[in-house]
């Protein structure tokens, strides 16, 4: 091997070491110092995710200044900025603190069910949220909420100038919202969002607060019932669909 080829091989290996970096850590319970398995560890910058093993250990691709987001049901989430030391020294410990939650009383039988399907099916109300397709607009439909005489007029009244209201929502955060496609293509992340209802992970991923998220959904004509009850994956899909409409309207 010539000296030139040897130098190229060494440089290639050195470059790989610079780019192929990861953080290896251990997540433990701050109360008893025991490892916590199945903690979700998300790199908010690269939109990649992993979970801790039975020993609380995880490894995730990361670069200096990336932000790691650690979440586990019943524990306070934490954000960590990646430093050279985190990459250089593996098995750094991360401590999660349990949340003290005051559980509200749960009403199990709000409709006085009898146990007979034919009778109970008539007594339990069904919430039918209506969606309307507007000819000429690139949309899968507008949700007007529960069926009523003013439902359709509510939809029509909100889209006299669709580009303006969408631009006000999306035009201010183009970089964050460009992540939407990448997030939706990550199956592990989708599985995690499907079991979450607190919007906390979405807030961090999209750099939107809960007020912004609700405002986007309302202006894209999703009902209050949907906003209140949908899981984080459904919310992500709703925002993504509305953002795609905005991009089409902007090109026009």
Cα(first)–Cα(last) distance of the chain, in Å? 58
Beta strands in the chain (DSSP E): 22-29, 40-43, 48-51, 57-61, 67-71, 78-81, 92-96, 129-132, 142-146
Cα distances (angstroms) measured from residue 228 to each of 29, 39, 65, 188, 234: 31, 26, 34, 24, 11
How far, in whole angstroms, is CA 129 from its chain's centroid?
A: 23
Listed in sequence order, the residues at least 6 apart from 225 whose beta carbon sits closer than 8 Å to its beta carbon are 127, 129, 145, 146
Whole-structure pTM value? 0.67
CATH 2.60.40.1120 maps onto the chain at 3-96
Task: Answer yes or no: CATH 3.90.245.10 is held by domain 3-96.
Answer: no
CB 42 within 8 A of CB 79: no
Q: Per-residue confidence of the chain (252 residues) as pLDDT tens digits?
A: 566 655 555 555 555 444 558 999 999 999 999 999 999 999 999 999 999 999 999 999 999 999 999 999 899 999 999 999 999 998 899 999 998 754 445 455 555 655 555 555 555 555 455 554 443 444 445 454 444 444 444 444 444 445 565 666 666 666 667 778 888 888 989 999 999 999 999 999 888 889 888 988 887 888 888 999 999 999 999 888 888 877 776 776
Q: Which helix (H) or strand (E) holds 242?
A: helix 232-251
């Amino acid at each position: 091997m010539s000296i030139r080829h040897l130098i190229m091989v060494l440089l290639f290996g050195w470059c790989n070491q610079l780019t192929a970096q990861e953080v290896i850590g251990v997540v433990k319970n701050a109360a008893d110092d025991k490892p916590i398995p199945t903690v979700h560890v998300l790199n908010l910058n690269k939109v990649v995710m992993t979970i801790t093993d039975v020993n609380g250990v995880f490894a995730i691709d990361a670069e200096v200044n990336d932000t790691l987001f650690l979440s586990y049901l019943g524990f306070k989430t934490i954000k960590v900025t990646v430093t050279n030391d985190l990459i250089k020294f593996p098995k750094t410990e991360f401590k999660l603190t349990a949340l003290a939650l005051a559980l509200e009383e749960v009403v199990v039988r709000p409709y006085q069910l009898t146990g007979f399907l034919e009778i109970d099916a008539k007594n339990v109300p069904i919430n039918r949220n209506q969606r309307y397709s507007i000819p000429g607009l690139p949309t899968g439909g507008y949700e007007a909420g529960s069926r009523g005489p003013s439902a359709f007029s509510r939809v029509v009244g909100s889209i006299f100038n669709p580009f303006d209201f969408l631009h006000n929502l999306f035009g201010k955060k183009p970089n964050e919202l460009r992540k939407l496609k990448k997030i939706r293509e990550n199956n592990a992340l989708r599985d995690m969002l499907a079991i979450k209802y607190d919007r906390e992970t979405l807030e961090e991923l999209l750099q939107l607060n809960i007020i912004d998220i609700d405002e986007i959904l309302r202006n894209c004509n999703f009902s209050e019932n949907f906003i209140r009850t949908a899981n984080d994956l459904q919310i992500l899909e709703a925002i993504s669909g509305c953002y795609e409409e905005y991009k089409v309207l902007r090109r026009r």
